[in-house]
Every structure is written in structure tokens, then in C-alpha cells.
Amino acid sequence: MSKKKRLIILFSAVLCLVVVLVVVAFAKGSHQNAVEKGGDAENKAQTETQSTPSVVTPTPDPSTTVPSATATNSTPETQGDNLTPETASTPFFKNNIIVVNKKHPLPQNWAPGENAEAVTHLRQLIAAAQNSGDSHASHIIEQWSGYRSFATQANLYSNYVASSGAQAANTYSAKPGYSEHQTGLAFDLKDSSGNLYRINDPVYDYSTDWVALHAHEYGFIVRYRDEWTPTTGYVGEPWHLRYLGVETATAVRNSGKTLEEFLGVSGGDYAQ
Ligand SMILES: [Zn+2]
């Protein structure tokens, strides 16, 4: 074989090797590219998923218990179900609104006393009721049943259980730790005979009652109605007001919903 022929064969072999290497390198490169592109899309999707809630969820201000009514319902619940006054470490808040019902107890040692802002508004409501000319509301007196400590509610509840049995008592009286009165934001109105406002009134009607029509103007809602028992856990109480602030109380009233439905939180009967 001539020297020239050997050089041509060697050159061809090298050329083939280079071509093969280039092809392999190209194939590898485009595959990696595709993987990277896929990875980018996933990262982007993750970034978007993570950033979305911070855009639409207003940051709650834990310093206030009476927030604006414009807060959305997207704030996570801060306390789960199945807690007891012994195991709950904090009250249950939704959209900065404290919620107490048969699913959401207060801690046993939660003792804020009567809320001063609520009392100021309550006095205004009572004054307006007394001047309303309404045959029932005008007899509301400036004495009410407001804040109750855990111990007070425990006494009250055990008296009700003793007199009418636990099953009946549970429909109108809260177990200790489950009373809205322990928040300092709930008030029972009384009339001039010392009875709870319109208790056992056969002609009572929420659609015409002065208190039910005007409470929100002073920042209150009538918390319990007979038709709301499946959600609230209690029979109707025309006398029981819950302070929410004018804006939120008006929004709740206009919604036609219970506080539980308005906030999207669980209610009804006790968990056990
Ligand atoms: Zn009450």
C-alpha cells in the first residue's frame, strides 16, 4: 500500500470519527435543552402558584378584633375543629373576627372583660330604642347581661342542666368555654320587667322588630334566629346581640346570612 493511500484511509477514519462525535454532541445538546426548558416551565408555574395568594390575600392585622367588612373570606382559619376550652390555646379568628360557637370554643383562661367600644355602641342603641316609639323596643332598659367569665358560664350552665336536663339546656345555654358572652362582645337586652327582650313573645317577628331592623346601625347583629339553628347551634334569641362594628354588622345583615355562613366557618352542634 502506498503512503498516499494510507494517508487517505487515515484521514477518512478521522473524518468519520469527527462526524460521529459531532452528531452525538448535537443530539445530547438538544435533549438537555428540552429538559431545561421543561424545568423552566415548572419553576415558573411554582413561582406563580406561590406568589398568587400573597397578591389576593389581605394581610390580617391581629391587633384588632373588629376588622372591616371588606376583608375577603380567604384568610385561613386559625383554629381547627375538635378543640376544647382545655386544649384551645387561642380564640378562633376568621378575617380578624373572633368566632365562638359549639365548634369553636374559647380557651378556659380567655378573660378580656366587657369590650369598651361595644358598650359605648350598646348605650347608643339602647338610647335610640327608648326613643323609637316602638311598643317593645322603647321598654329596653340600660341594664344588660354582657361579659361572662368561664366560671360564671360554668355556674349558669350547670344550673340550667339541673333544672331542665342537658339536652334542653344545650339548645339555649352554652357549655362553659363555648359562650359568645366570654368574648366581651355579646350582650343580652332586657326590658323594663327585667326579662330578656321579647322572651316568649308570641308575636315576635324578625322582619318588624325594631332591634333586628336597626342593630347594625350601631355595630350589632341579632346573632340567633330560629331558622338559623342548624348553623348557629342555638334557638332564636331576639335579645342576644353580637358586636362587630358598624361596617361588618351591616355587611352581615345585608347578606341575610348567619355569622358562620358569612365567614365560611363551621358551626352547628358540638363536635362530640
Ligand atoms: Zn346572650
| Domains of the chain by residue range | 1-56, 92-263
With 0.95 as the threshold, say if the pTM is over it.
no
Phi (first) and psi of residue 69, to 5 degrees = -80, -5
Q: CA–CA separation, 129 vs 135, rounded Å? A: 10
Fold type of domain 92-263? Muramoyl-pentapeptide Carboxypeptidase; domain 2 (3.30.1380)
Question: Quick one: pLDDT at residue 84?
Answer: 93
CB 223 within 8 A of CB 257: no
User: What is the CA(106)–ligand 1 centre distance, in A?
Assistant: 16
Q: Measured in angstroms, how far is the CA atom of residue 269 from the centroid of ligand 1?
A: 17
Q: How far is the CA of 143 from the centre of ligand 1 (A)?
A: 13
CA of 234 to the centre of ligand 1 (A): 10
Q: Residue 163 has what pLDDT?
A: 96
Q: What is the mean pLDDT of each run of 10 residues along the chain (272 residues)?
A: 59 51 46 37 33 34 39 49 88 96 96 98 98 98 97 96 94 94 98 96 95 98 96 96 98 98 96 78
Å from CA of 92 to ligand 1 middle: 19
Separation of 102 CA from ligand 1 center, angstroms? 14
Dist. CA 198 → ligand 1 center (Å): 13
Whole-number Å distance, alpha carbon 241 to ligand 1 midpoint, is: 7
| Distance from Cα 140 to the centre of ligand 1, integer Å | 15
**94 burial type by CB count under 10 A (0-12 exposed, 13-18 middle, 19+ buried):** buried
Cα 93 to middle of ligand 1, angstroms? 20
Distance 73 CA to ligand 1 centre (A): 26
Q: Whole-angstrom Cα distance, residue 180 to residue 73? A: 21
The alpha carbon of 224 and the centre of ligand 1 are apart by a number of angstroms equal to: 9
* Distance from Cα 25 to the centre of ligand 1, integer Å: 79
Q: What is the pLDDT of residue 271?
A: 87
